[in-house]
Amino acid sequence: MPKINMTEEVGQLITSTASKKQLGVNAMQTAIPVLMKHGVISTKLISPKTEGSTATPEEWSWINTRIVLSFTKPVQKLLDTPTKSLTDVQKTNKRYWQMQIGGRRGDFKSALIKREDGGDGSGGKPKPANTRVKLKVNECLTIIDKVTDETQLVNGEQIKNLFKQIIALLPK
C-alpha cells in the first residue's frame, strides 16, 4: 500500500478544505435561527406536491431560485437553458446541478428539523419516530417525482405507491 506523500501542499489542501467545510457549518448555525424567525420551517422545504408540505408553490419556487443564485453564472445559465437544446454532456451536468438544488435545500431542512422542537431554535428533543419516518419517506417521494429518465427508476410508480402505503400506516 502506498504511503501518503506528506508534503506541505497536501497538508495545506487538507487544512484549507476542512476549514471551508467549517465555514459552511458556521454559516448554517447562524442562518437557521434567522430563517425560523422569518417563518421558514422544515416542512416549507418539502415540495408542495408532496404530503406533509406546508410550502406554497410560490414559496417553493422562491427558495429554489435563491439556492440557484448561489451557483456560478455559467451554472445558472445552464439551469435556465431548455433541456432539449442541450448536448448529452450538458444534460448530465444540468441534472447534477438540479440535484444540487435539492441537496442544498435538504441541508437547510435537516438543520431546521434538528432545531425545531427546541422552541428558540437552539436545539431540543428529536421529533417522534413516526414524524421522522414520514419526512424521510416524503424525501424519497420527492426524489422519485424528479426522475426524468425512466430508465433510472423503472418501477417508479409502484415504488411511490408503496411509500404512500407506508405513510398511511404511520400514526397521525
Is 3 part of a structural domain of the chain? no
- Pick the more confident residue, 122 or 36: 36
Instruction: Say if residue 49 is in the same domain as residue 108.
Output: yes
Residues 93 and 54 in one domain: yes
My answer on whether 52 and 13 are in the same domain is: yes
Q: What is the pLDDT of residues 110-163, one digit of tens each?
A: 989 888 765 444 444 556 777 878 888 888 888 888 888 878 878 888 888 898
- Whether residue 29 sits in one domain with residue 100: yes
The DSSP-derived string for the chain is -PPP---HHHHHHHHHHHHHHHHHHHHHHHHHHHHHHTT--GGGGS-TTSTT----HHHHHHHHHHHHTTS-HHHHHHHHS-GGGS-HHHHHHHHHHHHHHHHHHHHHHHHHHHHHTTSSSS--SPPPHHHHHHHHHHHHHHHHHT---GGG-TTHHHHHHHHHHHHHHS--
Q: Are residues 154 and 112 in the same domain?
A: no
> Counting beta carbons within 10 angstroms of the beta carbon of residue 76, is it exposed (0 to 12), middle (13 to 18) or buried (19 or more)?
middle
Residues 154 and 70 in one domain: no
Same domain flag for 109 and 64 = yes
* Domain range for 163: 128-172
Question: Whole-prediction pTM value?
Answer: 0.62
User: pLDDT digit string (tens) for 37-61?
Assistant: 898 999 999 999 998 899 999 999 9
In this structure, are 38 and 87 located in the same domain? yes
Confirm whether 98 is domain-assigned: yes
Same domain, 80 and 151: no
Average pLDDT over residues 16-27: 88
Q: 100 and 78 in one domain?
A: yes
* Mean pLDDT across the chain: 87
* pLDDT for position 120: 42
pLDDT single digits (tens) 73-93: 999 999 999 999 999 999 999
Domain co-membership, 101 together with 61:
yes
Total domain count, the chain: 2
Considering the domain architecture, whether residues 92 and 138 belong to the same structural domain is answered as no
One-letter amino acid identity for 2?
A: P
